[in-house]
Amino acid sequence: MSRRELDLDAALADLGAALRFPATPDLAAAVTARLEQGPARSSARRWPAWRVGWRRLAVAGLAVVLLAAAVLAASPGTREAVARRLGLRGIGVELGGPPPPTVTTSPGARLDLGLGPRVTLEEARRRVGFPVLVPGAAGLGRPDAVFVDPAVPAGGRVDLVYKARPGLPASSFTDAGLLITEFRGQPEPGFVKKVVGAGIVQQVTVGGGPGYFFGGDPHFFSYRDASGQFREERTRLAGNTLIWQRGELTLRLEGNLSAAQAVRTAESMR
């Protein structure tokens, strides 16, 4: 191999070692259960994907989620009808999977939500390829903590954390009252929100553009970033979430806010 070939070979091997695949499901239990049904049953039609999701939920033992999901997972057709009734054109709602792991924090580090390196607002602005907006709503303004991930998704991501204060109650998991995430994403058609359980989904208008408000149960959040890759995020605050688009930026706001409060805060961002 030539030098150039060796370089690419080494770079790909290095990439392979650093890659993260989605978690492997427990196939052994599922396969054993199917084998116990005997060959006649197992040679029947393949299990459709929605049943796989349903089964995973059952394994997770989420009785409450199960009840809600079982209704929606009754058939793909029903599920689609429900999604349509929610006004979710262009957004896929997927039921299934274990509940999202919520980042728990130790006392003393309760503003560190596992978001990556903590930097100043100025440093964050230098390190990402887009203008970082901050809310101008009363009592907000300069964030209490700023975190940056310059590489993922492409163009970087900034997280602004605000401590709880009057009118901005603390999340039950951290001292933080509000988390704002900004990145360059492609909202549609690949803009997907996975909801676990019976959360509320509401279509809203933020500064004349479309937004979605998710309330209630914890949820996963997936989006297609500027490089076309799907990314999945954990819910960091158990509070409600507003997602909206401004220009090429996708913004997300999480906190114990009502839809109207969240939209007002979102519209104050400059």
30 vs 259, beta carbon nearer other proteins? 30
Choosing from 90, 230, 248, 260, the residue that interacts with other proteins (CB under 8 A) is 230
| Cα(236)–Cα(219) distance, integer angstroms | 10
46 binds other proteins (CB under 8 A): yes
SS3 169: coil
Task: Give the Cβ contact number of residue 71 at 10 Å.
Answer: 13
| Cα(130)–Cα(132) distance, integer angstroms | 6
Residue 42 beta carbon to other proteins: minimum distance, rounded to whole angstroms: 5
39 binds other proteins (CB under 8 A): yes
12 binds other proteins (CB under 8 A): yes
| Cα(74)–Cα(82) distance, integer angstroms | 11
Q: Which stretch binds other proteins (CB under 8 A): 64-72, 146-154, 164-172, 208-216?
A: 146-154
Choosing from 19, 85, 166, 247, the residue that interacts with other proteins (CB under 8 A) is 19
63 binds other proteins (CB under 8 A): no
180 sits in which H/E element = strand 176-186
* Amino acid in the structure at residue 177: G
24 vs 106, beta carbon nearer other proteins? 24
Closest of 233, 140, 158 to residue 191, by C-alpha: 233
Q: Which stretch binds other proteins (CB under 8 A): 31-39, 138-146, 196-204, 256-264?
A: 31-39
11 binds other proteins (CB under 8 A): yes
Bridge partners (DSSP) listed for residue 178:
162, 255
Q: How does strand 219-225 pair with strand 192-195?
A: antiparallel
| Cα(103)–Cα(215) distance, integer angstroms | 18
38 binds other proteins (CB under 8 A): no
Query: Which two tokens mark 186?
Result: 């492609």
Choosing from 84, 232, 248, 258, the residue that interacts with other proteins (CB under 8 A) is 232
Query: Which two tokens mark 76?
Result: 């793909």
101 binds other proteins (CB under 8 A): no
| Cα(205)–Cα(225) distance, integer angstroms | 22
Q: Which stretch binds other proteins (CB under 8 A): 23-31, 210-218, 236-244, 260-268?
A: 23-31
188 binds other proteins (CB under 8 A): no
Interface positions with other proteins (CB under 8 A)? 4-16, 18-22, 24-28, 30-32, 34-36, 39, 42-43, 46-47, 49, 52-53, 116-117, 149-152, 154, 227-232
